[in-house]
A and B are shown apart, each in its own frame.
Chain A
Amino acid sequence: LAKTTQPISMDSYEGQEVNITCSHNNIATNDYITWYQQFPSQGPRFIIQGYKTKVTNEVASLFIPADRKSSTLSLPRVSLSDTAVYYCLVDSGGGADGLTFGKGTHLIIQP
């Protein structure tokens, strides 16, 4: 079971780029890395998923080094509405193995 470690909290300002790094030292060969965003009293929302190198979509980029022991979620030009908790999840697919959420990173965006 791949355990993840993230900073508990981060602060930034509107318009800045924010990078949140997650460590997952014992990631397995068939594991994918997924990042979720959660607002209070809501279910997590899928942001991005990747296996290696770089993945980009309309809201974020995900950087994964060759050893895959960490990953970095990059949010370009954040706004106040990006204030939320961000979780990285190492997922082996299929059943419940690998569905242990870490503590998440509470990102606070200030004006």
Chain B
Amino acid sequence: GAVVSQHPSRVICKSGTSVKIECRSLDFQATTMFWYRQFPKQSLMLMATSNEGSKATYEQGVEKDKFLINHASLTLSTLTVTSAHPEDSSFYICSARVAGVSSYEQYFGPGTRLTVT
């Protein structure tokens, strides 16, 4: 149980275009989902917290107009990288907490490798 999927696993896009990444909790409902970014040989950096039915909370330094997050249901959150630039190339990972319980566990997705050319 507690499986989180991401789609796509890899995406290559041209500079200036937008890319949408989906994060789904497959066998549980997630009130809260998190989006991380990870550059090569670095740790995970939290970008934003996504709560179902409300606006996302962004970490300091993360542009909310560039990284659009939508948590439309208890099993789906999306991250849209708008007007992508080569410096947005990174590994994007989502995680989810189980809804309805006092949960200290995060279940992570497999990640999405974004390359902007």
Contact = CB atoms under 8 A, between A and B. Distances in A.
Interface residues of B, number: 28
Nearest to A87: B43
B13 interface: no
B34 A99 contact: yes
Which of the four size classes fits the interface of chain A?
A: 20 to 34
A95 B57 contact: yes
A43 B104 CA distance: 17
B43 A44 contact: no
Interface in A39-58: 41-46, 49
A102 B42 CA distance: 9
B104 A34 contact: yes
A94 B32 CA distance: 8
Given A32-B104, A34-B104, A96-B46, A43 B59 contact: no
Contact of B109 (A32, A43, A94, A103): A43
Contacts of A65: none
A92 to B, nearest CB: 8
Nearest to A92: B104
A93 interface: yes
Given A41-B113, A44-B44, A100-B46, A95 B104 contact: no
A94 B26 CA distance: 20
Given A34-B106, A46-B107, A91-B106, 4 more contacts: A41-B113, A44-B93, A46-B105, A91-B104
Interface of B: 4, 6, 32, 34, 36, 42-46, 49, 57, 59, 91, 93, 95, 97, 102-111, 113
12 contacts: A43-B108, A44-B44, A46-B105, A87-B43, A91-B106, A93-B97, A93-B102, A94-B32, A96-B46, A100-B46, A101-B44, A102-B43
